Structures are given as C-alpha cells and as structure tokens.
Amino acid sequence: MMKLKKILLYIILFFIVINMFPNNALSEDGKGSSGKINVDARCAVAIDSNSRIVLYEKNAYELVPMASTTKIMTTLVALKYGKLDEKIEISAKSAGVKGSTVGYKKGENITLRELLYGLMMRSGNDAAVAIAEGIGGSIEGFAELMNEYAGEIGIINTHFETPHGLDREEHYSTAYDLAIATSVAKKNAVFSEIVNSRDVDGKEKGFTRSYHNINKILWKIPDANGVKTGYTGKAGKCLVTSAPVQGNDIIMVVLNCPGRWSETEKIYEYVNKNYDFKKLFSKGDTAAEVKVNGKDLKLQYESDVIVPVKEGCKYTTKIIKPEKIGYTVNKGEKIGMICIYENGKKIYSSPLKASNTVKVRRFLNWTF
C-alpha cells in the first residue's frame, strides 16, 4: 500500500514539474519553439544569396548525387558559351534520352533560348543533351566545360559527368555547392526569368511549343522565384528553391528529401522567423585609411553590407588592411577586406576598394 502511495506521489510531482514550463520553452539555441527545426532530408542548406551566409544546414557538405538540379550548372554554362538565338538540331541521341523529356523530335531545330526553357521548366533531358552537343560537341565535352566553370565560381566539391543528372558513379555535388551555383545563376537576368516563369505561351515567345513549369514550389511559397526540381533512384527527391525574405533572396536546397515541398516550406518559415536583415555599411562609405608613401588613401566598401542577424548571437566586425603601402594604388583597386564574425566564427568577408588613385614616384639611380 505504501509503495502505491509513493508511486502516485511521484506521478503527481512529475505533472506539477512539467506544467511549470510553458510549451514555448527555449530550445538549445536560445530561441523559442521556432528556433530549431528538424528537416527530413539527407542533406539540406539555406543561404542568403548575396552574402552567402549559411542560415541553416544539415549535412550540407556531404558528397551525394543531385539528379536534375544539375541543370542549374548546365544553364550557367550555356549562358556563358552559347548564343541564345542560335538554333541547335535535335539529334537521335537527344530525342531518345531516358527520363523526363520535353518531347523534341529528331531533326527539329530549336533555339538555345527555347531549349533552356524546356530544360528548366520541364526538366527536359532531351534539351540537356541537345545543349551539350550544340555547345560542347558532345556530352563529355560539355561536362568538361561544366567542371571548369564550377572551379571558376568556387564550387570545389562537385563533379559533373552529364548535363542532365541521370545517375553516374562520378556525378555528385553537395547541398552547399548547389546553393552557391544558384546564387551565381540568379544574378543572370535570363536565368532568373526562366526559373521564375510559371507558364510560357509559345506563340508569344516565338517558340515551337508552350511550356508549363513542373516546379510546384512556385505555387506553395508566396513570391518564390525558382529554381529546380530533381529525382533519380539514387538521388531521391531533390529541390533547389529561391524565395525572398525581407527583400533578400534565400537559396534553399534539400537533397534525398521525400517531402521536399513541405520541408522546403519549413526551412523558409524558420529563416523568416529567426533572422532579421541588417544593413551594417553602405556602398562607398569609408571603411578605413592606409598610408601610401606618406599620403592618405581611403578604403571604401565595395557594396552594401547587409547580413542576416539571428537573435541571441553576438556579431563583431574586423577590418583587415596593410599598415602602409609603398607602391602606386589606382582607384577601384582592391585592398584589404571587412570580415564579420558570428559568435567568433567568420561568416562573411568582402574586399575593400581604393577611393582614389595615389601615385608613388620612383627615381632611378644611374651608374656610369
């Protein structure tokens, strides 16, 4: 009887203690219930497109297959090397490719511009092969261009074998690399127009057919403006999304994610609730001064410094610059940088530029 009374007493005390804490108790990172999320994806990341600061990540640097999100880089390479209004003939290889296709027929002549709409809106593997053959001469030749350009824009943990992303042993990327590629691509007006299009009338564009975007996220997140879906047996369901938060584009990537639409919405809400975008410095403002052969040279911010700030985190800035310079500096030349730290970890850096030209005259000593 005494044991039963003790058990009942423990149960009562347990419920009293539980009710002392509200449901919105602080999570591990010091925020409310919205301060921490669990995303059901093998890999995921969210970055601010401009500053490239990471806002959320889960296995963001793991090497994994990425399916048709590959086509983001295919488009970037096509925009760099191709001519938009030049026509490309659809080959038998292009027309017969497996997976998702637009339905181009062998012998059709399609402009590169239209192929890019078919590539990104319909995820056309036939468009991918046609673009690769038209620009790179072959799938292998185009893959070389993809890997070369990836290195140029700072994507170092990715390797491309195809322009469409069908499973290959040495075709892989990371969630972070895909986010960086997208942040670069979003600066291109043609790319942004394509991935933000929901429906395109073929007659209005002068295309051979009309296109409807299969990317459902454009309808699920208000003001979402891209980017690309993907799926293969090895990669699972993938999605790269761009959507504005407080006027700043956020790039979100989920790889091998069964509920890619809802999980992306979850990341979007998390960023929206937990971050405020603060303008710390304006483009053209003086960041520091440095002596050039005894003369003062002002160093300016190259662009507005706007960073996402999370409540409960400590942010500090540091200007890195030489103490003095003994050579001529031209206006606009990059010298030094600003670094921003979150809780002691560097999250952002940007170069400073010279506000004016300061010449240093050197006299030659002649020996006769």
For the domain that residue 49 is a member of, what is the CATH number?
Answer: 3.40.710.10
Residue 367 pLDDT greater than 70, yes or no: no
* Local confidence band at 35 (pLDDT 50, 70, 90 cut-offs): low
Q: How far apart are CA 23 and CA 20, in angstroms?
A: 10
Among the listed ranges 16-25, 73-82, 151-160, 345-354, which one has the minimum average pLDDT value? 16-25
For position 361, what pLDDT does the model report? Answer: 77
Residue 23 pLDDT greater than 90, yes or no: no
Cβ neighbours for 168, distance < 8 A, ≥ 6 positions apart: 161, 162
81 lies in the same domain as 174: yes
| R_g (Cα) of the chain, nearest Å | 26
Among the listed ranges 3-12, 81-90, 220-229, 326-335, which one has the minimum average pLDDT value? 3-12
245 lies in the same domain as 288: no
Residue 336 belongs to a domain with what CATH number?
A: 2.60.410.10
How many domains does the structure of the chain reveal? 2
For position 116, what pLDDT does the model report? Answer: 98
220 lies in the same domain as 238: yes
Does a structural domain hold residue 189? Answer: yes
Per-residue 3-state assignment (H helix, E strand, C coil) for 100-137: CCCCCCCCCEEEHHHHHHHHHHCCCHHHHHHHHHHHHC
Residue 174 pLDDT greater than 70, yes or no: yes
For position 258, what pLDDT does the model report? Answer: 98
Among 255, 277, 299, residue at a domain's last position: 277
* Local confidence band at 360 (pLDDT 50, 70, 90 cut-offs): confident
346: β partners: 341
Q: How far apart are CA 33 and CA 35, in angstroms?
A: 5
Identify the domain containing residue 295 by its residue range.
282-354
Cβ proximity of 174 and 157 under 8 Å: yes
- Classify residue 256 by its DSSP letter: S
Mean predicted confidence (pLDDT) in 55-65:
98
For position 36, what pLDDT does the model report? Answer: 80
Mean predicted confidence (pLDDT) in 56-78:
98
Residue 265 pLDDT greater than 70, yes or no: yes
Cβ neighbours for 341, distance < 8 A, ≥ 6 positions apart: 315, 316, 317, 318, 347
Report the candidate in 225, 166, 157 with the shortest Cα–Cα distance to residue 196: 225
181 lies in the same domain as 111: yes
- Classify residue 21 by its DSSP letter: S
For position 363, what pLDDT does the model report? Answer: 52
Mean predicted confidence (pLDDT) in 160-178:
98
Among 49, 51, 58, 68, the one annotated catalytic = 68
Does a structural domain hold residue 21? Answer: no
Among 49, 123, 183, 197, the one annotated catalytic = 123
Residue 14 pLDDT greater than 60, yes or no: no
Does a structural domain hold residue 359? Answer: no
Does a structural domain hold residue 127? Answer: yes
Q: Is 123 a catalytic residue?
A: yes
Please tell me whether 5 is known to bind a ligand.
Answer: no
65 lies in the same domain as 87: yes
Residue 337 pLDDT greater than 70, yes or no: yes
Among 236, 255, 277, residue at a domain's last position: 277
81 lies in the same domain as 220: yes
Decide: pTM greater than 0.75: yes
Cβ proximity of 70 and 230 under 8 Å: yes
106 lies in the same domain as 147: yes
Q: Is 194 exposed, middle or buried (0-12, 13-18, 19+ CB in 10 A)?
A: buried
212 lies in the same domain as 300: no
* Local confidence band at 362 (pLDDT 50, 70, 90 cut-offs): low
62 lies in the same domain as 179: yes
Residue 273 pLDDT greater than 50, yes or no: yes
261 lies in the same domain as 330: no
For position 21, what pLDDT does the model report? Answer: 34
**Residue appearing with tokens 């030659």:** 364
* Local confidence band at 257 (pLDDT 50, 70, 90 cut-offs): very high
Residue 311 pLDDT greater than 70, yes or no: yes
For position 269, what pLDDT does the model report? Answer: 97
Cβ neighbours for 33, distance < 8 A, ≥ 6 positions apart: 23, 24, 25, 27
For position 282, what pLDDT does the model report? Answer: 97
Does a structural domain hold residue 236? Answer: yes
Mean predicted confidence (pLDDT) in 189-207:
98
For position 132, what pLDDT does the model report? Answer: 98
* Mean pLDDT score across all residues of the chain: 90
179 lies in the same domain as 302: no
Q: Is 68 a catalytic residue?
A: yes
212 lies in the same domain as 332: no
CA distances from residue 205 to 117, 153, 235 in whole angstroms, order as listed: 11, 31, 34
Q: How far apart are CA 45 and CA 256, in angstroms?
A: 13
Please report which residue ranges of the chain form alpha helices under DSSP H. 2-19, 71-81, 92-95, 112-121, 125-136, 139-152, 175-185, 189-196, 202-205, 217-220, 260-274
Mean predicted confidence (pLDDT) in 78-101:
98
Mean predicted confidence (pLDDT) in 179-185:
98
Does a structural domain hold residue 81? Answer: yes
